[in-house]
Structure 1
Amino acid sequence: MKITLNRINDDFLFECTNAQGNSILLDNTTQPGAKGVSPMESVLMAVAGCSGIDVVSILKKQRQEITDFKAEVEGERIPVDDAKPFKSVKVKFLLEGNIDPKKAQKAAQLSFEKYCSVSKTLEPTVEIGYEVWVNGDVVQP
């Protein structure tokens, strides 16, 4: 796996491109007029995307009918020397459709315990939590 990063203005705007030519913009979001996401926001996006792919894939294999899927991710950061790494990350899945809540909960559990490489990368130093909502109701683990 390889990406390239190119600076595209005189400040902090970078374009990151993968081998297939797909790209995202990263920027210093503390500056006015930022045109991309911050690198730390991109980490939260990566957790949402990785676990989201897992959950949707598992539920599709179980023939669950997903009509809408969203994830909200919050990260708590702590100062460590001059950096502010994540202390914890919490993912909230919001699913709609003809979905068995127990299957949705199990899919999320499998993602975080077994499949999601992004959360597994963070896991040694970051507490990862999640909750699952199906059709407006929270699913109890």
Structure 2
Amino acid sequence: MKVHLKRLNNDFHFVTTNERGDEVHLDNKSAENPQGSSPMDLLLRGIAGCSGIDIVHILKKQNLELTNLEMEVEGYRDPNAIPKVFEKIDLQIKLEGDLPENKARRAVDLSLEKYCSVAKMLEKTAEIKYEVLLNGTQI
């Protein structure tokens, strides 16, 4: 896995490109007109994407089909710390479909507690908590 970074202006706007040519823009969140995500924002997007892929994969292996998956991820940092690492990350995972509660919950548990590489890295510095809603009901 390899990523290339190139500075695009005289401030903090960068473009990163991976080996497949996919581009992601980065910028300083405190810039006047940010042109991309902050690096810490990308970490939260990373845990959401990693876990989302796992959940879909686990349920597909069981021939269970989601009709929708959405996730809200919120990270908390001590504003006075240096570096300002995430100390806590909360996820709310919203699943929709004709899924047994136990299988939906198990897919999320397996993702965040075993398979999601991003979660496994972030749990070294942050407490990760999550809740699962299936068709609008917490399970």
Q: Which residue identity is paired with 1:124?
A: K
Pair 79,29 (structure 1): closer, same or farther in 2 beyond 3 Å: closer
Aligned to 2:34: 34
Give structure 1 stretches of 5+ with no counterpart.
none
TM superposition shift of 1:79: 4.2
Residue pair 2:92, 2:133 contacting (<8 A) in 1 also: yes
Q: Which runs of structure 2 are paired with 1:1-141 in the superposition (5 Å)? A: 1-79=1-79, 81-139=81-139
5+ residue gaps, structure 2: none
Contact 1:75 1:88 in 2 (8 A): yes
TM-score between both structures, scaled by the size of structure 1: 0.93
Q: Supply the distance in 2 between the matched residues of 1:118 and 1:48 (Cα, whole angstroms).
A: 9
Matches of 1:10 and 1:79, distance apart in 2: 27
* Per-residue Cα deviation, 1:2-42 (whole angstroms, up to 9, x for no partner): 11111112211111111111121111111121111111110
CA distance in 1, matches of 2:25, 2:136: 33
Cα deviation for residue 81 of structure 1 reads 4.3
Taking only aligned residues, the RMSD between alpha carbons, in angstroms, comes to 1.2
CA positional deviation for 1:126: 1.0
After superposition, give the CA deviation of every residue in 1:41-85 in whole Å (9 maximum; x if it has no partner).
100000000011001100111111211111110011014643211
Contact 2:85–2:125 (CA under 8 A) maintained in structure 1: no
Structure-2 separation of matches of 1:67 and 1:91: 20
Q: How many pairs are equivalent?
A: 139
